Amino acid sequence: MMTRRCALLLPLGVPLCGQSSAHEPAQLVVHWLPQPLFNGAPVLFRSKVYSGAAVWLGRKLEFRPDADGFSALAGVDVTCTPGNYPLALGSETVEVPVVERSYPSSTITVPPRFVEPPSSVRARIARESAIKRKVFASSPPERRWRGAFAAPADTHYTSSFGVRRTYNGKTQSVHQGLDYSAALGTEIRAANSGRVAVAQNMYFEGGFVVIDHGESIFTLYMHLSEFLVRAGDAVQTGEPIAKSGASGRVTGPHLHFAVRWQGAYLEPATLLTLWVA
């Protein structure tokens, strides 16, 4: 009996595995960036031939046509441990290794009301949490983003993703985005095309914009001073969406830029490099 592995994508009518054929079936090849993959990384999978559904790390992906074949955007949760994780593409699997990246720690001092919010704002915080939950659960399966993601500001970033922060000596959390240095009023631009899902002030985020890029990929922009878009607006890559500020839980003016995919926050700096092959 033949044990040759089956090429995953054969044109209709081409003999399947185990059937004799004069042509050797092409091996399914999938490439990915970044190299190597690490916990917290956004991932761009590419294949010349494979389109459709895939599963990796328990999450569903979709390979869709792009300029150079088919691609799927995915991510590795920051808590993922190193190892080989099979990417399931129909009946085929490809082993995808993830290595460990260790993130630094820092301490930060903020006004006490942001560590222990007064009871007077609890209802507000609960309302805003409900808005965010609803937005993050309602991304359409269609891809609204196209090609490379662009930096939201021309400035450099001052605090990286993944830093374990201790606020005021007690409350601990992981920094879930990049902090761009941004003087008050700096123009902030959409990282990719999509639809504005949130453009409002919130207690922790301050002036807050969320862009839904489809496929459960969101970019988040915080501490803004002015909105240039409204919820529901369609935006294109590089389009001005807001002015930076110092609103919400901050120690000074800056932009907090975050990337969320299927509930996981991913490292934005790597997302911006995935299309440089």
Give the nearest distance from C-beta 177 to Zn ion in angstroms: 5
Q: How far apart are CA 217 and CA 212, in angstroms?
A: 6
Taking CB positions, which residue lies at the least distance from Zn ion? 256
Q: Which is nearer to Zn ion, 46 or 256 (CB)?
A: 256
The torsion defined by the Cα of 49, 54, 60 and 63, in degrees rounded to 10, comes to 0
| Residue 256 beta carbon to Zn ion: minimum distance, rounded to whole angstroms | 3
Closest distance to Zn ion from the beta carbon of 193 (Å) = 24
Residue 26 CB, nearest approach to Zn ion (Å): 45
Q: Which is nearer to Zn ion, 93 or 159 (CB)?
A: 159
Report how far apart, in Å, the C-alpha atoms of 106 and of each of 4, 160, 182, 240 are. 53, 11, 21, 32
Helix or strand holding residue 151 (H, E):
none
For Zn ion, the closer of residues 132 and 256 by Cβ is 256
Torsion of CA 124, 126, 129, 131, to 10 degrees: -70
Of 16, 8, 32, 4, the closest CA to residue 92 belongs to: 8
Listing from the earlier edge strand, what are the strands of the sheet with 52-56?
31-33, 42-47, 69-75, 59-66, 52-56, 83-89, 92-99, 37-38
Of residues 46 and 254, the one with the C-beta less far from Zn ion:
254
Closer to Zn ion at the Cβ: 179 or 212?
A: 179
Q: What residues contact 235, with CB distance under 8 A and at least 6 apart?
A: 190, 193, 194, 195, 196, 211, 229, 241
The minimum distance between CB 198 and Zn ion, in angstroms, equals 17
Do residues 23 and 44 touch, judged by C-beta distance below 8 A? no
Q: Pick between residue 243 and residue 256 the one whose CB is nearest to Zn ion.
A: 256
CB of 111 to Zn ion, least distance (A): 16
Kindly state the DSSP code that residue 263 receives in the 8-state scheme.
Answer: T
| Residues at the interface with Zn ion (CB under 5 A) | 179, 256
